[in-house]
Chains A and B, each alone.
Chain A
Amino acid sequence: MASHHPAAGAEITVDSRKLGVWVFLASEVIFFASLIVSYLVLHNRVTSGPTAHEALTLTIPTINTMILLTSSVAMVLALAHLRDGNRRASIAWLLTTAWLGICFLILKAVEYSQHLHEGLTPSVNVFGSAYYTVTGFHAAHVAVGVIWILSVALGLRRRLSPQNDVLVETVGLYWHFVDLVWVAIFMVVYLLR
């Protein structure tokens, strides 16, 4: 993998794949910032139908926050074990991370079905539009993360080694980023409702 390492004279030395993910995530910050700003601008302009205060409860999102934060710990452990040369433990923690991500998605689906049951749909009012869009794009990112983690833990497991920890580190960067976005959404959408 000679090309992933910087040229001998470069001042900046970092694996190119890791830098690429960092740069991509920097770009994603603007994407979520645009969505969250749109939510902040619009969510109080409800003309009819449920408002944020009426529709949102804290139970499921709080549990989901804990699930995602725990999953980040699992991801950190997966990387640490891989660097210690313990590939089996690393894969186990990767699968744990993915499983917690799936739990998050299941609970999110339960929450959505409760909303729909109570008449909060994407088209009922601007709050509904913005709420489903912000949380939906985040959930889609969690789903992509779960697929990515599973393909590293299962599909590429033979390539995992302390020298090739970048496979875990890159998906880890993405996963922590998705967690951080959730923390922002939790505060803006749920705590400030």
Chain B
Amino acid sequence: MASSAVALPRVYEERGLLSWLTTVDHKRIGILYILGAGFFALIGGLEALLIRTQLAVPNNRVLVGEAYNQVLTMHGTTMVFLVVMPVLTGLGNYIVPLMIGARDMAYPRLNAFGVWMFLLGGLFLNLSFLLGGAPDAGWFGYAPLTAKTFSKGTGIDFWILGLQLLGISSITSSINFVSTILLLRAPGLTLNRLPLFAWTTLVTAFLILFAMPSISAALFLLFLDRHLGTHFFNPAAGGDPLLWQHLFWFFGHPEVYIMILPAMGIVSEVLPVFSRKPLFGYTAVAYSSVAIGFIGFTVWAHHMFAVGLPDVVNAFFSAASMLVAVPTAIKVFNWIATIWGGAVRYRTPFLFAAAFVALFVIGGLSGLFLAAVPVDWQVTDTYFVVAHFHYTLFGGSMFAIVAGIYYWFPKITGRFLDERLGRLHFALQFIGFNLTFFPMHFLGLAGMPRRIYTYAPGLGWEGLNLLATVGAFILALGFVVFFVNIARSLIAGERAPDDPWDGHTLEWLTSSPPPPYNFAHIPVVHSRRPAWDRKYTGNPHARPVAEIAGENDRQEGEDAPEEPIHLPAPSIWPLVIAAGLTVFALGLVTHWLFIPIGILLFALGVARWVTQPLFPEAASHP
């Protein structure tokens, strides 16, 4: 890129611990999100194995009573808030700015704050194991079980404040995604040409913004109930436990779509590239994401069919829930039509993405069962529900996430993940997943309740439970292979070119890994497959992509008019603010002395953040 007409920016220090602690680069922040989520996935996965070990045989004594409840609660909370959400945020952070031809996110320092808040919030939540016991009331925290009367320890307080810290992280990252995707798109990249992963990330950001405050308010009310003696969820004094359920599920159901929509976006990127065709029905897929987002806010009470709401209310929420099937099926048919007739390359990303479609359909269909009130009454709080949501969350989100990691790993690291290990990983994960969760449908229909830590012999549940446990260990083995593959490929993986998959979107036009400023020239977009324009079409601007990054740049005068590139300066203050909030929360649960320390750190961080210029170079040369 030496011949480039643009003055390349000053690149800040890229090595050493301090460079990571102060980074504001969306790519490094994305990596931090993904690594953090991977670490918490180990914890959440071990918790799942403990649960399955306990349930393998009747009257087992591996993990009983309160300890089981803690592990169960932390498994759910971890997988939702510390694994699936942050890994999707991390992929979005890394990929979306590249996909839309931006040099960074709209607010680089807020972005850094978001990742530190996630990492510290996750550590805070898990600290509860060491400080008096983890939360044990389920990931949904139903009142009045969470009241001080019934949960005396600090576990619930760790849960409340941990989720608040993670909520702050989600809200800031969502504001960032909305501004980035709406404002920083490359010239010509209209919303009607926006890649599907960016579309679903945008819709998800709005879902988080409108769903998260509801649980945030509910958590505040619960905290006040526990520590100030208020009566929000205390029926004896006129409070209402159902109020918790409404506030929780007004968040909790959109949360389901928060975890699946970006996953659908990944699949909508992977399937066309590996089928060597454009996505079938782009407009329908994009708009059905928006439709799912809207309908997602009108279905929350289907989690409450068994609490005795009036029939007309149940009927409304039942119908609304079934309505979600329409935009979802639109997507499924479009994905199938995308593969149909394509010159399919059966590489690992494709295998996981195709498996996603199949498994997600199973989860969607059992969701339709549960949307029917009479069926729900039969199987509510049984393993049928556990089977259902693992088919959407694991068979759905997690398979798509793994597809995304295999797909973008060459872009992020400059090396391929090993294909043979990848296939082995796929086989183990696919078989293990189905062995674990498919039998749970039958367990649920046979009446096995969820959340119990053991069961008596002779109920007809033994065989299927053992099968599920065997499946869980095969699944875990699959992830061991995955982690080994990542570690090996990082060191000795096959070198990847800039455009290893013959991709469609802008991230494949820059080097692997991309330079800190992403693109020396911001590309101009003419279609939904801007990378293909350059390679194949009769578009007058189209040129084959060469393997050297500099050759990707277009001729003079053709690209967007350039301003000098300025990279935002690194800053430690986002981390200081996040640490301040975490220490403050720790003070609320443990020793009061942490409270003033937290406030001081927070105030110091905010004051220095506000006075530190984002672009010192630009400020000194106005």
Contacts and interface: CB of A to CB of B under 8 A. Distances in A.
A23 interface: yes
B183 A38 contact: no
A7 interface: yes
Contacts of A129: 224-225, 230-232, 239
Contacts of A3: 103-104, 106, 566, 568, 614-615
Contact of A155 (B103, B110, B209, B610): B610
B232 A31 contact: no
B218 interface: yes
Nearest to A132: B230
Contacts of B611: 155
A41 B238 contact: no
Contact of A10 (B184, B232, B237): B184
B183 A34 contact: no
B564 to A, nearest CB: 8
A1 B561 contact: no
A35 interface: yes
B203 to A, nearest CB: 14
Contacts of B610: 151, 155-156
Interface stretch (A42-50, A58-66, A185-193): A42-50
A9 B188 contact: yes
Contacts of A2: 563, 566, 615, 618
A122 B614 contact: no
Interface stretch (B174-182, B257-265, B365-373, B382-390): B174-182
B230 A122 contact: yes
A20 interface: yes
Given A19-B179, A20-B179, A126 B185 contact: no
A116 to B, nearest CB: 13
Nearest to B565: A2
A26 B209 contact: yes
A119 interface: no
Contacts of A132: 230
B343 interface: no
Nearest to B104: A3
A133 interface: yes
B275 interface: no
Contacts of A10: 182-185, 187
Contact of B560 (A8, A11, A46, A155): A8
B184 A133 contact: no
A156 B240 CA distance: 47
Given A23-B209, A27-B209, A130 B232 contact: yes
Contacts of B615: 1-3
A126 B230 CA distance: 7
Given A3-B106, A7-B560, A23-B209, A122 B184 contact: no
Contacts of A47: 237-238
Nearest to B522: A7
A180 to B, nearest CB: 16
B185 A9 contact: yes
Contacts of A34: 213-214, 216-218, 247, 250
9 smallest beta-carbon distances between A and B, as pairs = A9-B187, A123-B229, A45-B238, A129-B230, A31-B213, A34-B217, A30-B213, A27-B209, A6-B183
Interface of A: 1-3, 6-12, 14, 16, 19-20, 23-24, 26-28, 30-31, 34-35, 38, 41-42, 45-47, 122-123, 125-126, 128-130, 132-133, 137, 151, 155-156
